[in-house]
Chains A and B, each alone.
Chain A
Amino acid sequence: MTLRKPPLRDVHDAAGATFTEFGGWDMPVEFDSIKAEHRAVRDEAGIFDVSHMGQIAVSGPDAEGLMQRLTSNDVSQLGRGDSHYSMILDEEGTILDDTVVYRLPEDDDAEYLFVPNAGHDEQMHRRWTDHRDEWGLDATVENVTDEYAMYAVQGPDAPNLVSDAADDSVIDLSKFEGRYAEFAGADCWTARTGYTGEDGFELIVPVESAEAVWDLLDCQPCGLGSRDTLRMEMGFLLSGQDFDADENPRNPYEAGVGWTVKLDTEFVGRDALEQASEEGTDDEFVGIKLVDRGVPRHGYDVTDTDDHVIGEVTSGTMSPTLGEPIALGYVPSDFADPGTVVRVVVRGQSKKAKIANTPFLND
């Protein structure tokens, strides 16, 4: 299969980046070093090319109705320029994808842009158009992924940096608020969102201006490697790893994102989730810290102190900020309290570990 390339693939290559396949895209994993990039974001600012994220635009008289029925959060609560985190579910309440939904500041009918994960854009476009047709709704659904680059500028210095680069300051935007702003003469959707735990912005940039805007945002370029360590320190979910409809089917309550589920709205998966909400879940998504030396990684078994397998690490790394081995994964609720001693099997060796609060960074 040919890998999809972000618009600046060659620019990143010339900058010395190494690349990895992610969701069918050939993406930069590292520019300098994961630790240096991670540190830049925690201490100053870094810019990530996240053009592999999908962009689906939904407009028309029934756009709100369509979004409401295909996402778990309540889009009717979004004012113009607001956004929120939401889940896309199947009838059983299993997470198919997680996404940020932006309500664009249009004057007439509500218009939305949502951002599915890498490689999910075509699937989600199909899901939206199929349901629109099935329900007879009047909405236009466009997959505009290839028309835009997407950048995330994150870190304590990011607000000033992005604001200085924009023709008009965007520093007044609140968390999860966005507006169109001009960068290098291009109208870019600019929202105070991100995936690192730091303050910062995400910009959706017309592809013809991709390089000019990237050059304007002059800070440490960061790859997917540091994006992963930063999001793990926050305990944020990674699609395809911490949940996966085929390999690791989870509902939002198990995955610790039950707050994105608004049962007083009608959406696909609602009834199954109402039941799950009443019955509770067997497993919980937790943070784990290794007490013994070693590095926990995706797929490693989690056991009780008698070596019975009780769960699995879904994400793990050596935290660059804390200097400690951290992991995320699912364990039975009986084992989910912070401080509970468990073990992680690291390449055949059982290592002592403890359930930890997330975000690890604030623990």
Chain B
Amino acid sequence: MSFEVPDDRKYLESHEWVDDAADTARIGISDFAQDELGDVVFVELPDEGDDLAQNDEFGVVESIKAVSDLYSPVNGTVTAVNDALADQPELVNEDPFGEGWMLEVELADDSGLDDLLSADEYREQIE
């Protein structure tokens, strides 16, 4: 089975992605991760204004069969959370790199982006 791994993201080994194309970066989990979890039924996210530290837990995603902690790929401050996931957690399964995004983060100066996996490196990890 092949999984989508967009080239315009960077990845944590624990399967979170960050999109740093804009001033504020979006964070979510990968296509591979949502497939491993199965049907997502609940997502617990931080509040706007919370500070995130790279590799620290920022929330939880639960599928019918499993509970997984979410880890921040970057240092920064939460500027928005995807409220749609409260009523439609299945968006994480249906569109993990799009409508299933989880957070928007204003990156800190020392964002940690350079420490993340490139799309090619992440592809190698999940193959």
Contacts and interface: CB of A to CB of B under 8 A. Distances in A.
Contacts of A297: 67
A19 B93 CA distance: 20
B5 to A, nearest CB: 20
Contacts of B44: 294
B6 interface: no
Contacts of B86: 293
B64 A229 contact: yes
Contacts of B64: 34-35, 225, 229, 317-318, 320
Contact of B42 (A16, A35, A293): A293
A86 B10 CA distance: 56
A35 B60 contact: no
A347 interface: yes
A33 B40 CA distance: 10
A295 B38 CA distance: 15
Interface residues of B, number: 13
A29 B62 contact: no
Interface in A1-25: 16
Interface string B52-63: 000000001010
Contact of B65 (A29, A293, A347): A29
Contacts of A295: 41-42, 62, 67
A157 interface: no
A293 B89 CA distance: 12
Contact of B39 (A16, A29, A34, A293): A34
Given A294-B44, A318-B42, A347-B67, 8 more contacts: A16-B1, A33-B38, A225-B64, A293-B42, A294-B42, A295-B62, A295-B67, A297-B67
Interface of A: 16, 29-30, 33-35, 225, 229, 293-295, 297, 317-318, 320, 325, 347
25 contacts: A16-B1, A30-B38, A30-B65, A33-B38, A33-B93, A34-B38, A34-B39, A34-B64, A34-B65, A35-B64, A225-B38, A225-B65, A229-B64, A293-B42, A294-B42, A294-B44, A295-B41, A295-B42, A295-B62, A318-B62, A318-B64, A320-B39, A320-B64, A325-B42, A347-B67
